[in-house]
């Protein structure tokens, strides 16, 4: 009866729930802070896969909901940045495959990334975009995604985490992709 009295007393006073609430509130603050810093690059990445800012926003929010859920279950996530990119990547790819729009959007995204370094005329921009789009068609899906994630500033390790492959595989995909892209881009 002594044990039952202690158990009921702690429940009545709400110590366990208060502790859970404090932990949840602290976790929520951390996720909100991370959301503020990681949202823009994740949105940009998701947008260029799905082609819609509204859908990209939904995907990023879903990724952060998954993050909150995982962290509230005390899951150990070693690299939050690559974990978030992987979740957004997987959600966006699933969404894109259902829509069948990924290929042309990837080409447009990469051409915009490459053109942002120097201003050119509208004709030059159009010609360059067409060349890049043709060059990207020579790449397979993994090579394209490796190039896109590398352009976003992710390390080989982070890209490997996102795509579920080793750093060595990322290196190979990037090397092959760049070679194919350069050969195709120069001949276009």
Query: What predicted TM-score, i.e. pTM, was given to this entire model?
Result: 0.62
* 107 shares its domain with 187: yes
Distance CA 188, CA 24 (A): 55
Half-sphere exposure (CA, 13 Å, Cβ side) for 51?
A: 14
Domain boundary among 75, 100, 125: 100
Distance CA 135, CA 108 (A): 11
| Mean pLDDT taken over the chain | 79
* 19 shares its domain with 94: yes
Give 87-104 pLDDT, tens digit per residue.
Answer: 999 999 888 777 765 555
Query: Total domain count for the chain?
Result: 2
Give 168-187 pLDDT, tens digit per residue.
Answer: 999 999 999 888 877 766 66
- What is the CATH number for 21? 1.10.1740
Task: Please give the residue range of the domain that contains residue 55.
Answer: 13-100
What percentage of the chain carries pLDDT values higher than 70?
69
Tell me the DSSP string of the chain.
-HHHHHHHHHHHHTHHHHHHHHHHHHHHHHHHHHHHHHHHHHHHHHHHHH--HHHHHHHHHHHHHHHHHHHHTT---S-HHHHHHHHHHHHHHHHHHHHT-HHHHHHHHHHHHHHTTS---HHHHHHHHHHHHHHHTTS-HHHHHHHHHHHTT--HHHHHHHHT--HHHHHHHHHHHHHHHHHHHHH-
* 116 shares its domain with 184: yes
- Asked if the structure places residue 4 within a domain, the reply is no
Give 55-83 pLDDT, tens digit per residue.
Answer: 999 999 999 999 999 988 888 888 999 99
* 95 shares its domain with 111: no
* 40 shares its domain with 91: yes
* 27 shares its domain with 65: yes
* 33 shares its domain with 79: yes
- What is the CATH number for 139? 1.10.10.10
């Amino acid at each position: 009866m002594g044990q039952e009295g202690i158990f009921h007393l702690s429940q009545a006073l709400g110590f366990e729930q208060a502790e859970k609430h404090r932990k949840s509130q602290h976790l929520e603050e951390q996720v909100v802070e991370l959301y503020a810093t990681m949202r823009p690059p994740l949105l940009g990445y998701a947008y260029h896969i799905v082609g819609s800012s509204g859908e990209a926003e939904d995907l990023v929010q879903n990724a952060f909901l998954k993050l909150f859920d995982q962290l509230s279950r005390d899951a150990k996530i070693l690299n939050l940045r690559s974990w978030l990119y992987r979740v957004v990547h997987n959600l966006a790819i699933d969404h894109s495959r259902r829509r069948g729009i990924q290929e042309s959007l990837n080409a447009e995204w990469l051409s915009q990334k490459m053109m942002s370094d120097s201003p050119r005329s509208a004709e030059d921009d159009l010609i360059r975009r067409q060349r890049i789009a043709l060059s990207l068609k020579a790449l397979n899906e993994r090579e394209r995604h490796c190039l896109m994630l590398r352009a976003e500033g992710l390390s080989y390790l982070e890209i490997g985490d996102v795509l579920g492959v080793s750093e060595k595989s990322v290196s190979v995909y990037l090397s092959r992709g760049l070679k194919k892209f350069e050969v195709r881009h120069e001949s276009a």
